[in-house]
Amino acid sequence: MWLSEMKEGQSATIVHIGGNGNLRRRILEMGILKGTIVKGYHVSLRVKEAAKVEVNNVR
């Protein structure tokens, strides 16, 4: 599943971050790293950017 497909209130684990150098660096600088659990907060990314971040274990 992609970060862009998650609904508000869900949590998941980051498994892969795609994209080009600038986009990838920006995402990493936001603290979105492989293995990070995202839950309970809003991420300021465009939908097409969030579609480059793969997640699993969505709850």
Contact 55, 13 (CB under 8 A): yes
**pLDDT tens readout for residues 1-59:** 999 999 888 999 999 999 888 999 999 998 889 999 998 777 788 999 999 999 999 99
**Measured distance CA(52)–CA(2) in Å, rounded:** 7
- The tally of CA atoms less than 13 A away on the side-chain side of residue 30 is 18
The domain limits of the chain are: 3-56
55 phi, psi to nearest 5 deg: -130, 160
Task: Note the pLDDT of residue 44.
Answer: 84
Q: What topology is assigned to 3-56 in CATH? A: SH3 type barrels. (2.30.30)
pLDDT of residue 4: 92
- Alpha-carbon torsion 28, 31, 36, 41, what sign? negative
State residue 15's pLDDT score: 97
**Spatial contact of 4 and 47, defined as CB atoms under 8 Å apart:** yes
